[in-house]
Amino acid sequence: MTELLNVLLLLFLVVCAIGVAYIRDLLSAVILFSSFGLIMAIIWQQLSAPDVAMVEAALGTGVATLLMIAAISKTRRAE
């Protein structure tokens, strides 16, 4: 059961990563990147690294998304 969950999470991670690279709208790319970070945090937890998971959830999902959205609001949204 846990392995099935892990495989699903990893598949979703790959889909998110490819989507971030290919999507044209920058705001959608940022949101996809934040969901990438959230899934990455869950995977770190599954790999029994709660320390890294905490940092990834706070920085990779929260603060990095905020900073990138702030940067988009200063520049253009389309690529």
Q: For binding to other proteins (CB under 8 A), which residues are involved?
A: 50-51, 54-55, 58-59, 62-63, 66-67, 70-71, 74
Q: Which is nearer to other proteins, 15 or 35 (CB)?
A: 35
Nearer to other proteins, 7 or 55 (CB): 55
Please answer whether residues 56 and 1 qualify as being in contact, where contact means their C-beta atoms are separated by less than 8 angstroms. Answer: no
CB neighbour class for 22 (10 Å; exposed up to 12, middle 13-18, buried from 19): exposed
What is the rounded CA–CA span in Å between residue 67 and residue 30? 10
Nearer to other proteins, 14 or 67 (CB): 67
Q: How far is the CB of 56 from other proteins (least distance, A)?
A: 9
Token readout for 4 is 């099935």
Closest approach, Cβ 5 to other proteins, in A, equals 21
Q: Are 76 and 57 in contact (CB under 8 A)?
A: no
Least Å from the CB of residue 3 to other proteins: 24
